[in-house]
Amino acid sequence: MIKYPLRVTILCVGVGLIALGCFIALAIVEGFPDLVAIAVLSALALYAGNRAVDFPDGTKFSAGFMIEAAAVVAFTAAGSLLGSLIVGMFCGLSIANLRDRDWRRVSFNVGNFGLATLAAAVVFALFPSSWMNSPPLLIAAAILLTAVFFVVNDGLVAVVLSMMTGEPVASTAREMASSTFQSLPFAILGVFLGRLYLDVGVVIVPLFVVPIFVAREIFASYVALKRSHDDTVRILIGALETKDKYTAGHAERVAMFANYIGLELGLAPKRLERLRLAALMHDVGKLVVPNHLLNKPGRLTEAEFAQVRLHESVSAEILTRIDFLAPVAPSALSEYTRFSPVADEKGQPIEPHIVAVADAFDAMTSTRSYRKALSQSTAFRELRENAGKQFHPRVVDALIVAIEIRHEEYGAGHEAQVHDFAVEPPAAGLGSAGLGDLLAEESGRDSDSPEVTAT
Amino acid sequence: MSQIQRTIATASVITVGLACFAVGTGLASTTFTIAVLAAAMLVGELLELRPPERAAVPLSYAVVLMLLRAASPGEFLVAVIAVELGAFVLRPAPNVATRAELFAQRIIAAAVALGLYQLVISVADSQSKQIVLGALALAGIGELLVDEVVFSLQTRRLDLSWRGRSGELALVTSGMLMAVGYAGLEGKGGIGLWALLLFSVPLLAAWYSFERLAVIRRTYTQTLQALSIVPELGGLVREGHAERVAVLALEMGRDLSLDPRELEYLEAASLLHHLGHVCLDDPSVLGRPVDPSEVAQASAAMLRQAQFLAPAAELLSPDPLPFGGGSRSQTSVSGQVLRVASAFDELSEGGDARSLDGAVEVLYSGPGYVYDPRVLAALERVLERRSLVPAAL
């Protein structure tokens, strides 16, 4: 259970009490509005508020605001502010918080949503009623309602959050503001639901909410299945890491660097997702390489070497079998990812080159069985020297820019994992034995220049 | 951008442009309105809701309901035929025969919708709230029924259950909402073409979600299948073993009427039951024996790391206890199915009829009565069915 500072407790209870006070005052002054409308809209608000979809990027999306906007329009036009307050309070009532007996949160959320909706209703009551007959003016009203609602709602949340974290209210509020506009489509639909409710009655409600809730459920199953897919890919990575402990975290880091490069090059979200999975899975083929070869301390024989090299074609074969990843399957082949200006002009996909650079950078900045990690500046130099020869120059530039603007540091002295060695490997250079250097030698043979190749 | 995407984008822009022009200038003559709706229908023809394991339904079915309210029967039919001719040309379907079939199917669906709507309205002789809503709902269901009939004729499978029908539900309710929003009910609440602009948004959101779901479903299945061949690529298991076991296990699972959830786990576990082999310290190559319980344990340990696959991991029993007595409770039916399917595939290497029979016999007389006789009976039934349809082998 979270420990709340005293002033947070006071604020939470206070918000709840103010909402309760408004409820009592309005009930006395104006009486209860249409009970069917209250029951239907409150039930929907409760349902929608508790069935938010968690997006993979951490934001939440709920249709609750649509119901609140509908309530504001329908009840205000019927001369009731109380209806909006009640529906708002139900929208803020979280079943999870009730189950946890987190009463401060319950009080704060119920009060906050109720008061924000009430504020929107008060503003809406100031509009001339002729607005109701003009769709463009109703849309304008929806924008205003959204603004009022979020000034109150986000404002109060920002105050509480800044009390908890100690960060200034303004910056917390600014962070929240971006998600506000995502709710605007719901607000627009909501005002029209409210208007049609007035004209047509309660039958309009199911017609309105069913498509939205279907979309919501299907989207939620998409998000859930995406998570299980990620889990499955992670199984693979876990298996790879048990085979070769020096590569712990390698796949995840390659995916991260690939994402940096992809963002820098302005790839579309779909391509970024494809790139991420390709980067995670680029070494999958290593699963078929026997453990003793992966961890062999000395030199590999020709036959053993051939067996190890097989992993690239196995990885490519596996990626090819997944339609979504098939276009970037060559990411796993070191021959393909060598930069060639001719191929570049032909408009071949850039993803394999991104994976190659991310892979090489992480290999250089991590400790391997045959050498210690290089420093970041050495790794950058290697990449720059081989740009246009082994690596795609635009990709190399993008990686360096992306890491520099983030002020991040990888390589010697900045590794996530500390390795203990019986015999310390050499601190610099490519070392003398092991898989990586054999691959480096192999690729060096055709270009006459010493190069770095990731394993 | 592909050809079809360009077409859809162009048609959408035209639709929205016309609609905005109409609502902006107040120039909403009937002809103009019908033209806008026809353009919207054309977009809807090219966008289909594709629920998993159900027939795809075009979004145009929702616009049809709106058109019923906006046009006279004659205008309705002219518009529908014009739209379907357009769709016939633009549709990405591979050959003319398929296009022609779809053309006929859509015309019939629209005619059924019109017939049902007019029938209800004229029989009741009223435009009251209940009558109009009932007529619209019936018209929407009528369109879907036409599709259902065609689909079950094509697949020779009739499934009238509610499962997987959320997309169709969203389609009909959206269509009704657009129709009600267009002209209102009992003369109140109409907002004209605004209804099309606003109320198509939730339907498009549903469509988008279905598309994303379809992509991730395919990717997920293919990832499992790709993983399943890793031991084969490493030369640890005979080629195609995992795939064959998965197919056989699913057939047996259906024969034993396992529920869809269990079948899903059974499939995943069958595909991945040898995956752990690659993690063993010194995986032996094909032909040399390796301790099967060790493989099962390693595979189960891998599956357990993924939350979604954890129940599948439980099907990979670490020690193949003989069936009967205490072990009955320890191994689920699905687990038994997997073991029988896997053992059968290993025994029936040749694949011809005699070796299949031999394999079943070996399983029955296995040392210490290892396998559940009910599951073996299911295997026999599946094999018998396969022998009736030789192509299935």
Domain assignments of chain B as residue spans, ordered by start: 3-214, 229-392
Pairwise pLDDT comparison (A310 vs A208), residue with the higher score: A208
Nearest to B198 by CA among A90, A69, A178, A122: A69
> What pLDDT does A398 receive?
92
To the nearest whole number, what is the mean pLDDT of chain A?
A: 81
pLDDT in tens, A140-166: 999 999 889 888 888 888 888 888 877
Exposure string of B283-315, with b = 16+ CB inside 10 Å and e = fewer, is beeeeeeeebeebbbbbbbbbbbbebbebbbbb
Pairwise pLDDT comparison (A4 vs B38), residue with the higher score: B38
Contact: B213, A231; criterion CB under 8 Å? no
Asked whether the predicted pLDDT for residue A87 surpasses 60, the reply is yes
Q: Is A200 on the interface with B (CB under 8 A)?
A: yes
Rounded to an integer, the average pLDDT of A208-229 is 88
> What pLDDT does B329 receive?
45
Which whole-number Å values give the CA distances from B192 to A194, A230, A290, in the listed order? Answer: 17, 45, 69
How much of chain B is in helix, strand and coil states, percent to nearest 5?
75, 0, 25
How is domain B229-392 classified at the CATH fold level?
Answer: Hypothetical protein af1432 (1.10.3210)
Q: Is A414 helix (H, G, I), strand (E, B) or coil?
A: coil
Which of the 8 DSSP states describes residue B390? G
> By mean pLDDT, which of A31-40, A276-285, A324-333, B199-208 is the weakest?
A324-333
Please report the domains of chain A, with CATH numbers, ordered by start residue: 6-221 (1.10.1760.20), 244-447 (1.10.3210.10)
* Low-confidence residues in chain B, pLDDT < 50: 283-284, 286-287, 325-330, 368, 391-393
Q: What is the 3-state secondary structure (H, E, C) of B313-355?
A: HCCCCCCCCCCCCCHHHHCCHHHHHHHHHHHHHHHCCCCCHHH
Could you say which of B133, B202, B212 has the minimum Cβ distance to residue A222? Answer: B212
Q: Is A245 on the interface with B (CB under 8 A)?
A: no
The confidence band for A118, taking pLDDT boundaries of 50, 70 and 90, is very high
> What pLDDT does B350 receive?
52
Asked whether the predicted pLDDT for residue A444 surpasses 80, the reply is no
The confidence band for A115, taking pLDDT boundaries of 50, 70 and 90, is very high
> By mean pLDDT, which of A9-18, A213-222, A339-348 is the weakest?
A339-348
Find out whether B259 and B356 touch, Cβ atoms under 8 Å.
Answer: no
> What pLDDT does B137 receive?
94
Minimal C-alpha gap between A315 and chain B (Å)? 9
Q: Is A204 on the interface with B (CB under 8 A)?
A: yes
Find out whether B171 and B62 touch, Cβ atoms under 8 Å.
Answer: yes
% of chain A exceeding 90 in pLDDT? 18
Q: What is the 3-state secondary structure (H, E, C) of A53-102?
A: EECCCCCEECCHHHHHHHHHHHHHHCCCCHHHHHHHHHHHCCHHHHHCCC
> What pLDDT does A321 receive?
86
> What pLDDT does A439 receive?
46
pLDDT in tens, A159-200: 888 888 777 777 777 777 766 677 888 889 999 999 988 888
The Cα diameter of chain B in Å comes to 86
Contact: B222, A243; criterion CB under 8 Å? no
The confidence band for A220, taking pLDDT boundaries of 50, 70 and 90, is confident
Rounded to an integer, the average pLDDT of A300-309 is 77
Find out whether A215 and B173 touch, Cβ atoms under 8 Å.
Answer: no
Asked whether the predicted pLDDT for residue A267 surpasses 70, the reply is yes
Instruction: Count Cα neighbours of B25 within 13 Å in the Cβ-side half-sphere.
Output: 10
Q: Is A133 on the interface with B (CB under 8 A)?
A: no
Cα angle A379, A382, A388 (rounded to 5 degrees) comes to: 130
Contact: A239, B166; criterion CB under 8 Å? no
> What pLDDT does B186 receive?
81
The confidence band for A437, taking pLDDT boundaries of 50, 70 and 90, is very low
Instruction: Count Cα neighbours of A360 within 13 Å in the Cβ-side half-sphere.
Output: 32
End-to-end CA distance of chain A: 46
Considering the four listed CATH numbers 3.40.1130, 1.10.1760, 1.10.150, 1.20.1250, the one that applies to the domain covering B3-214 is 1.10.1760
Nearest to A80 by CA among A145, A110, A125, A146: A125
> What pLDDT does A438 receive?
41
The confidence band for A348, taking pLDDT boundaries of 50, 70 and 90, is confident
Q: Cα(A355)–Cα(A349) distance, rounded to whole angstroms?
A: 11
Q: Which of residues 276-295 of A touch B (CB under 8 A)?
A: 284-285, 287-292
Find out whether A428 and A374 touch, Cβ atoms under 8 Å.
Answer: yes
Minimal C-alpha gap between A116 and chain B (Å)? 25
> What pLDDT does B59 receive?
92
User: What would the DSSP string read from start to end of B8-19?
Assistant: HHHHHHHHHHHH
Residue written as token pair 């003559």: B29
Task: Report chain A residues whose CB lies below 8 A from the CB of B222.
Answer: 321-324
User: What would the DSSP string read from start to end of A253-279?
Assistant: HHHHHHHHHHHHTT--HHHHHHHHHHH
Contact: A231, B307; criterion CB under 8 Å? yes
Taking residue B51's Cβ as centre, other Cβ atoms within 10 Å add up to: 22
Find out whether A219 and B212 touch, Cβ atoms under 8 Å.
Answer: yes
Pairwise pLDDT comparison (A322 vs A342), residue with the higher score: A322
Asked whether the predicted pLDDT for residue A350 surpasses 70, the reply is yes
The confidence band for A224, taking pLDDT boundaries of 50, 70 and 90, is confident
% of chain A exceeding 70 in pLDDT? 84
Contact: B220, A225; criterion CB under 8 Å? yes
